[in-house]
Structure 1
């Protein structure tokens, strides 16, 4: 079981690194003018629409992703150990993808409008992603999985 937990942890860490890497890549591409920025900087009507979309997606999806995962976690704990580990990984991926959508969308809005609202919403998404940081200890605690060493300590 320990090997499976470590494997799931590595997969989730790779997914998180990929998420952060894409966010950094987007920023670098805009900063190096590979992707042109400010497409809607002079169009105040489009700025308003894009910023409203960014704000509403942030307001809706960040709490939804965090709450959805906690609701699913209660149901995941009812499964067997191996099944719960598989479901935990799947729902962690869904949560991270929802937060990634918020982050990437708002980075694009920030650079298209050159207004700080998109940047602020992207930072909210990045901050929320901290709750998605995978760790072996976190997985064990959330799924109530005890290692053999911990079982031995409890018996003594």
Structure 2
């Protein structure tokens, strides 16, 4: 079974309710399509919950969790964004963020730098090296586990 969830927008109870109906065993797969956070009241809890799903597999910093849509990381450009980035950067995994429509773009924020990553270029802040933002138009080589031992370009 394939289950797709999207548009949680920081509402942790909506995510919890959706996950109650999903069994993540056997051949079942969960695909999170985006817009997990942003203007909702509990965006940090939503991201922690999503990370908790990954944590069951024993992730490492080399592992990548792809976040599609608004992640709430550069939403307000205030201390709350900074605190969220600090919390997310401390997770033992790399977050690859693909921007939505409601956040400030990293290329417009002077603390971000371009750096090479997996065959493409990403934006990252030196203070938060585990939070990588996709650069529009780039192609990245990601091993997504679709084929045995093969590298897949996404």
Normalising by structure 1, what TM-score? 0.25
More helix by share: 1
More strand by share: 2
The structure that has the greater radius of gyration is 1
Normalising by structure 2, what TM-score? 0.25
